[in-house]
Amino acid sequence: MDGDGELPGVRSVHRALDLLERFDDEHPLWTLAELTAASGLPKTTVLRLVTTLEQRGLVASTGPGRYAIGPGFLRWSRLSSAGMEVPPAVRAALNRLATETGETANLYIRVGRTRVCLAQAQGTLSVRHTIAVGSALPLWGGAASRVLLSDPPLLAADPSVIEAVAAEYPQGEAGSKEFSPKQLRLAAIRAGERGYAVTHGERELGASGISAPVLRSDGRVVAAVGVGGPTTRFNDERLPGYVAAVRRCAATVSASGWSGFSAS
């Protein structure tokens, strides 16, 4: 981060993207007053950014002072879907993982300070833990986050990335013991050394996860595959089998040559 505590780059672009990132499944609509309060930016700055985004079709007015994501994203969404298409071989590997474990299998990639679910195979057990494909989750918690943060160039880069992720931990300040930048970095390093990560109730109480890295030929971590479900099932008896199945799936996806983008 720079001397003002902001990420390097064009400040206005960062601020505009920060506003856009506040639109999600739980908050599809925002008023100018709400965006101003949530962002901590001056009202005039928020108004100027929203006006610019509206002019480019990235946000749309839904009523007096209320905004939603605009139609301008439809074209980019189509291009992103085509570029990030998951090959049949990768989907088959996820399906096998879900069948072997009975748990929901997910494929995640890192997008900035979030992990995005790119594909999913539903588990066979009646009680499941699922998220919507396309959902963006925070990187401060969860087995997949540990794995994605273990990418060697990321760990060797400016520590501001890890610091920014740790600062987003919602319970208390970033200096809390479990989610301090130091602890988060060590957890990512351990995940890289072990070749997998296991977490219990870290992002959501009662939910556990196991994840392993999808590796490119040069050793880069391009994605994370894993399973998630109720913590009661992730016990000492089942855990070794789950870990083995997740690592086999990750190895299969890595061997397929998929790098996170379609070859076309």
Quickly state the pLDDT bin for 89 (edges 50, 70, 90).
very high
pLDDT confidence of residue 129: 81
* Averaged pLDDT for residues 67-91: 80
* Per-domain boundaries in the chain: 11-75, 84-255
Quickly state the pLDDT bin for 4 (edges 50, 70, 90).
very low
- How many helices (H) and strands (E) are present in the chain, helices listed first? 10, 9
Q: Do domains 11-75 and 84-255 have the same CATH topology?
A: no
Quickly state the pLDDT bin for 263 (edges 50, 70, 90).
very low
In CATH, the number for domain 84-255 is 3.30.450.40
pTM: 0.73
CA dihedral 49, 59, 77, 109 (to 10 degrees): 50
Rounded-to-integer distance, Cα 46 and Cα 23, Å: 14
Write down the mean pLDDT value for the chain. 86
CATH 3.40.50.720 fits 11-75, yes or no: no
* Averaged pLDDT for residues 15-44: 90
What residue type is assigned to position 139 of the chain?
A: L
Q: How do residues 115-166 score in pLDDT, each as one tens digit?
A: 989 999 999 988 888 788 888 888 898 999 999 999 988 887 767 788 888 8
CA dihedral 129, 132, 135, 140 (to 10 degrees): 0
Residue 20: both structure tokens together: 């856009």
Residue 5 has pLDDT above 60, yes or no: no
Residue 101 has pLDDT above 60, yes or no: yes
Axis crossing angle, helix 11-21 with helix 32-39, rounded to the nearest 10: 120
More confident residue, 154 or 251: 251
pLDDT confidence of residue 31: 94
More confident residue, 33 or 204: 33
Residue 83 has pLDDT above 80, yes or no: no
Rounded-to-integer distance, Cα 170 and Cα 204, Å: 12
